[in-house]
Amino acid sequence: MQSDPHPSNDAVPDPSDLAASNLSIEHGKWTHSHEEDHGGLMVFRPDSFPFPRSRGRLAFVLQGDGQGTYIPIGADDQSGSVPAQWNIEPGTSPVSLLLRIQAGDREVFCAQVLKANPAELLLRMLPPS
C-alpha cells in the first residue's frame, strides 16, 4: 500500500504543544497546498512536496537574512514575484507566533503560525496591519 502524499490534517495543534516544540520556520520556498486547507486554516508545503496539478499557487521564499520573495497568483493564473522582507514575532498569546511578509511599504501577508516543521506550515491568516 502506498502512503498518501496528502495526509489529512483535521486536528488543530494544541497551543501548549507549540510552546514545547520550540517552533521555528525552515528557510526556503513554501507553497500553498490548498487541497489540504481545513477549518479556515491554510497548509503550506516545501517546494519538494509532490503537489497535484493546479492552475496557480500562492508561495513565498524565506531567506535567513529576513529577505525573501512573495509569489502571489496573478489575474491570469501566472505567478509573479515581489521582493519582500519577512519576520517572526510573538503573537497575542505567549505560545503563538506571527509570520509577516512586507513588499515595499505594504504588508502583503500576515498569519498566525499554528504548526511548523520541515514538511508543513499550518497557518491561520490574519488581516494585514
Q: What is the spatial distance between Cα 19 and Cα 95, in angstroms, rounded to a whole number?
A: 5
Is the pLDDT confidence value at 14 over 70? no
- Write down the pLDDT at residue 1: 42
Q: Which three cell numbers stand for residue 41?
A: 486554516
Query: How much of the chain, in percent, has pLDDT values that exceed 90?
Result: 25
Q: Which three cell numbers stand for residue 43?
A: 497548509
CB 35, CB 55: distance < 8 Å: no
Confidence of residue 79 (pLDDT cuts 50, 70, 90): low
Least confident of 33-37, 53-57, 90-94: 90-94
